[in-house]
A and B are shown apart, each in its own frame.
Chain A
Amino acid sequence: MANPKPENSKARTLTIDPVTRLEGHAKITLHLDDKGRVADARFHVTEFRGFEKFCDGRPLWEMPGITGRICGICPVSHLLASAKAGDEILAVAVPSAATKLRRLMNLGQIVQSHALSFFHLSAPDLLLGMDSEPASRNVFGLMAAEPELARGGIRLRQFGQEIIESLGGKKIHPCWAVPGGVRGQLVDAKRTAMQDRIPEALRTAREALALFQKLASKFEEEAAALGDFPSLFMGLVGEDGTWEHYDGTLRFVDATGSLVADGLDPRDYRSFIGEATESWSYLKFPYYRDHGYPDGMYRVGPLARLNLCERMGTPLADEAWQQFRDTAGGKPVTSSFYYHYARLVEMVGAIERIEILLDDPEILSDQIRSNAGVNRLRGVGVSEAPRGTLFHDYTVDEHGLIEKTNMIIATGQNNLAMNRTVLQAAQHYITGNTIPEGLLNRIEAGVRAFDPCLSCSTHAFGQMPLQVALYGPEGGKLDERTRD
């Protein structure tokens, strides 16, 4: 892990294991030099799942159902990317109503996942304080301290989940989007039930946004220390530069807001995204090819989407987006801490878009699925998952059996940036040989801002924990904090 160091060196390594309140298993190691300063920091993802292997030989049509099982938080993202890869292989035109229904489900997914990230996982840090008692620094502590906010957040997540259930029959792992379209239409009674909940959902999302804007001044130190650095940003964008979550083309912008690449066909992702690996993590390190590894670091997800679009496309979200961008003088917002802010803006926009889709008479159409055999041997499906751009790339034989699968998951694309964030946070907060718990939590909060889904990205198995270890320059472990 650490390079060989002189025997008399006082350098050491510190380990945080497990990292808490994120989806998946990870640990952080901090490598200190002779003077106790942080020389290097690594975010290790410690599990592996291997979906690419056991999809081999399966019929194409089963892939949405199989890959949806990668994640219990964002099964819809995999379902949609997989169905879109299937559309490509069938080479059919997906009925317009089916596209609208898929968009509706993806928006429901974005709302429920963002609500989970903000209210359940990160609000305890933001509202109870980074240094508050760890035993109650969770959603239960939030319920006790801020019952109205916690209730609103839980109901907002439920709203998103119920959109998924209304369309797919169940909240988690609906096998509903399929190659060629979707399997079930929306019935009017369910549409009405969703419409009835929009005012409350929108109110909760806007209140959370206002709360974050108010709190932001208290967290200026965190905003500067938790992952504020220049990087590229990548995401889907609509034809006219509007925020996009399902179709469109890929855009890269740099930290100054300049276009690095635009109008990229997501199907050609291999020509502009490289994938590197490191021996100390199961998570791959994607990078922008033209800038090489690791200089081609880019961020995806809510922060990136808001940094590269030119408008949100709905009134309330546009207003919030403008305020968000104004915090950086109209340039891209470079602090990873503001992923939280971006998530809240996206929630407002997603709810507005849900309302528009539900008002569209075509949403009740029964023309929702196109049938065809295998017309192409390769298909790439891309959509924006809550955490960023998701790629499913399938190669099939002439009958439709999978020969090769490659998936690039949002969290993986943030891997380089998460490592940079951990290093920056550690360099800012760690100054001696012991780690106060509150500082440890700030380093975790740096990772938490990305809302990483490690189970998805590495195809890891299990629940969530993190670990921080402190190592000396000679490699000896000096201190370690573990949480189960």
Chain B
Amino acid sequence: MIKLENRWKYKRWIKSAVFFAMCLIIAACCLFPFYWAVVSSLRDSASLFSTEFFPSKITFENYKYVFNDSGFGYSFWNSTVVATLTSLLTLFICLLAAYPLARHRFPGRKRVLMIALSVTTLPHVAVLSGMYELIRVLNIYNEKSALIMADMIITVPFTLWIMTNFINSIPKEIEEAAIMDGANKYTILTKVFLPILGPAIVTTGLLAFIAAWNEFLFALTFTINDQARTVPVSLALFSGASQHELPWGLIMAASVLVTLPLVMLVVIFQRRIISGLTAGSIKG
């Protein structure tokens, strides 16, 4: 009997060892590329090509260059403006739309949801030429507004979908009192739902922000110069810039700079983001 217990304990120990080893491997796989980018960005041009795991000498030259001389500041600003405005606009539009979709049964409602769902799957390259023409006609080529407009294709449908789910999960009793009082829909939305929906708004807003921040195809096609480019585009076209070295160190520095705010957001709002991501697609 004692022996059996020991064996059980032993097995259990092995099990947890394997488990933690797996955790370690997964963590290493997830983090190593980013770690390598950080290490590379901290190297000077002479040691850039060395493959030591820990840099022996650290320099911030690359970061200085990225900040001061490369025009990366513009892109940072552009991305911030585009992503912020896109997510705010998206939230506003989708809050308005999600309320009747979640709470009222009217003809055409399902069709709207279906359309939103199929737009999330639209290949972006399929709207590229039509969008290009539209942007030309509206005379907003190479403007942030063009990017905001294009990014809405991505953000609106999934935000609408997630928002509808969130509102749907709120118990009906909450607004019943307000309905009894004869409040109209707008009042119900702003006075009753808005306060409860705080967490949902943060989640969807963040997701929309990240999507707009990362968007590449439209930003690449609808902008021309450094002054209008967003971060992903400048990063993609960052080449042959500096004189005495292959610009890998700079690219890595810029990559780290772009990623850090996102990583921080995600670490802080981890739970929220996970719930939003999964609420949007399945769980059905």
Asked if A pairs with B, the answer is: no
